[in-house]
Amino acid sequence: MAQTGRAAADLRVDGSRLWERIEALGEIGQVLGPNGERGCARLALTDADRDGRDLVVSWMLDLGLQVTVDAIGNVVGTRPGSDPQAAPVMTGSHIDTVRTGGRFDGNLGVLAGLEVIETLEQHGITTLRPIAVGFFTDEEGARFAPDMLGSLVYVGGLAVEEALDIVAVDDGATVGEELARIGYAGSTPCPAAVVPHAFVELHIEQGPVLEDEGIAIGVVTGVQGISWTELTIVGQSAHAGTTPMGMRHDPGYAAAAIIVAARELALRFGAGQVATVGRCEFTPDLVNVVPSEVLLTLDLRNSDDAVLQRAEVELRGICNDVAAAEGVTLGRRTLARFEPVEFDAGMIELVESTAAQLGLSSRRMPSGAGHDAQMLSRVCPTSMIFVPSVGGLSHNIAELTERADIEAGANVLLHTLLATATTP
């Protein structure tokens, strides 16, 4: 019978054990900075991702979890409940990182899920519902777009066959080829046959709000809309010295104008609108050649989809005007387009009340970053727990969350999962 009541209410995670796992996983694909920063480079489906996966799977097996790998490489470890018919309560996140990633983005949510399970095991606590901890393939979308690819397929938002054909931005390999190469082309079908009863994800905030306000826990109300576009600007390569300025069709100049326009548009639209050009590649990328082609990416986000659409339309018009004036052509490819997501009111309240019961300050807030939770919210009641990021920094090797904040977040996860896993 599920043990609840006073004993369970006093349960707390082992913060040191959790920190040790974060450190151990962080050593895989570790990137060292000039001032002692320790970050991670584990782009999706690379050897480093494989090694990270192998380590986390070994921890899942050590905990006696039933481990499955699905056709898009999502890995789920499940601890049985007393009612084998009951749908599981699920937590998890991702362990792939960007190239200048940190040890906490995604990793925290997966390892805190394992810590919750180890805590329950340690104290002999059974739950009515199974508890599942997953890591989803390619959450970052940095190597294979879109982001949240694995969780999108997991919930049936994209056919797995289509996902397997997606080509990497760096070396042209497909998702399917890389899954097979690293040994994670699983046999469990997608989308997931069992829909979770609820999903809760613990994640670092990756922004400055909680730290600025001195608040321990972010109760996440939803995720802003995401719009990723790849632009291919084609001009005419020419000699840097002999070609008069009036004769040039310079995609590099057009790209620069677009980058400036994206920033100016975000500032003009005001708070809530962000715009980023994260990739900009010149061909032939030589000092004395007017480039023939430039590839760049536009990342626009807003929690109001109507405003985000307005931003997309306005920037599209600016790009067209810039291209016409410079006499270059524009190719566009949508890499990702996800509407804003609102999480479940009941789950939001549960996270909020759980933080209060633990004596932790909290505030409701939307997520500026994309998360696997936004995909799980398509199929089950979902919310997220944020913990502060030092300096509001993430997607940076200096990313850091303090141990006490990690432990607090993991305790909120523990009791949120307990509350949902012990109720029919």
Q: Are strands 382-387 and 198-204 parallel, antiparallel or unpaired?
A: parallel
Look up residue 211 and give its two tokens: 């730290």
Look up residue 155 and give its two tokens: 């919930």
* Stretch near ligand HGY under the rule CB under 6 A, chosen from 10-18, 25-33, 133-141, 347-355: 133-141
Q: What is the per-residue binding string for ligand HGY in 54-93, x denoting contact by CB under 6 A?
A: ----------------------------------------
* Closest among 278, 6, 308 to 142, alpha carbons compared: 278
Q: Which is nearer to ligand HGY, 15 or 392 (CB)?
A: 392
141 near ligand HGY, rule: CB under 6 A? yes
* Cross-strand pairs, 202: 385
Which residues from 234-253 bind ligand HGY, rule CB under 6 A? none
Task: Report the interface residues with Mn ion, using CB under 5 A.
Answer: 105-106
Kindly write down the DSSP assignment for every residue of 195-218, as one continuous string. --SEEEEEEE--SSHHHHHT-SEE
* Smallest distance from ligand HGY to CB 395, Å: 7
Contact 355, 412 (CB under 8 A): yes
Select the binding partner of residue 147 from ligand HGY, Mn ion, none (C-beta < 5 to 8 A, by kind). ligand HGY
* Smallest distance from ligand HGY to CB 198, Å: 22
Select the binding partner of residue 399 from Mn ion, ligand HGY, none (C-beta < 5 to 8 A, by kind). none
Rounded CA-CA distance 113/117 in Å is 6
Rounded CA-CA distance 340/135 in Å is 22
Q: How far apart are the first and last CA of the chain?
A: 12
* Closest among 87, 67, 77, 69 to 113, alpha carbons compared: 77
**DSSP assignment, residue 87?**
P
What's the distance, CA 77 to chain centroid? Answer: 19
Which residues from 363-392 bind ligand HGY, rule CB under 6 A? 369-370
Select the binding partner of residue 370 from ligand HGY, Mn ion, none (C-beta < 5 to 8 A, by kind). ligand HGY
Select the binding partner of residue 252 from Mn ion, ligand HGY, none (C-beta < 5 to 8 A, by kind). none
140 near ligand HGY, rule: CB under 6 A? yes
Query: Closest residue (Cβ) to Mn ion?
Result: 106
Rounded CA-CA distance 106/150 in Å is 13
* Stretch near ligand HGY under the rule CB under 6 A, chosen from 30-38, 138-146, 280-288, 325-333: 138-146
* Smallest distance from Mn ion to CB 98, Å: 6
- Residue 392 buriedness (CB in 10 A; 0-12 / 13-18 / 19+): middle
Rounded to 10 degrees, what is the CA torsion of 401, 402, 408, 410?
A: 50
Q: Which is nearer to ligand HGY, 93 or 383 (CB)?
A: 93
147 near ligand HGY, rule: CB under 6 A? yes
Q: Which is nearer to Mn ion, 106 or 340 (CB)?
A: 106
139 near ligand HGY, rule: CB under 6 A? yes
The footprint of ligand HGY on this chain (CB under 6 A) covers a number of residues equal to 6
Summarize as ranges the residues that interact with ligand HGY (CB under 6 A).
Answer: 139-141, 147, 369-370
